[in-house]
Amino acid sequence: NAGVMQNPRHLVRRRGQEARLRCSPMKGHSHVYWYRQLPEEGLKFMVYLQKENIIDESGMPKERFSAEFPKEGPSILRIQQVVRGDSAAYFCASSLGTGDYEQYFGPGTRLTVT
């Protein structure tokens, strides 16, 4: 399966815990994007990364959220001290590179904060 992989598919955390969401892009793709979908809402852009670089994090909350895409390994979206409002579906997408507008999405991670 050469598609975008995300894990875990479902994640339950208590308020105050940390959530780590992982994304492996499609083979050959060097650009990764994270989106959040709240109930009854569209997908909201959070952050755009290339290997070892954050290109655009204008959609990321200033506190508690961070993202990385290391040279080796998957991209990680990290949410510290989760609150109930963080409950959502988090989708990762990847693309070939600059100028390639078509992004391919993973199945998403559904985060539930109890």
Partner 1 sequence: DQQVKQNSPSLSVQEGRISILNCDYTNSMFDYFLWYKKYPAEGPTFLISISSIKDKNEDGRFTVFLNKSAKHLSLHIVPSQPGDSAVYFCAASATDDKIIFGKGTRLHILP
By CB under 8 A, residue 45 contacts partner 1: yes
Of 17 and 37, the one with the shorter C-beta distance to partner 1 is 37
C-alpha distances in Å from residue 93, one per residue of 4, 6, 16, 36, 90 = 7, 10, 27, 11, 10
By CB under 8 A, residue 39 contacts partner 1: no
By CB under 8 A, residue 95 contacts partner 1: yes
Least distance between partner 1 and beta carbon 77 (Å)? 15
CA-atom Rg of the chain in angstroms: 13
From CA 95, how far away is CA 70, in angstroms rounded?
16
By CB under 8 A, residue 104 contacts partner 1: yes
C-alpha distances in Å from residue 73, one per residue of 13, 22, 23, 25, 69 = 24, 9, 9, 10, 8
By CB under 8 A, residue 42 contacts partner 1: yes
By CB under 8 A, residue 34 contacts partner 1: no
Q: Which two tokens stand for residue 27?
A: 């083979």
Bridge partners (DSSP) of residue 31 are 50, 95
Least distance between partner 1 and beta carbon 97 (Å)? 9
Q: Which residues bind partner 1 (CB under 8 A)?
A: 4, 6, 31, 33, 35, 40-45, 48, 55-56, 58, 91, 93, 95, 98-99, 101-108
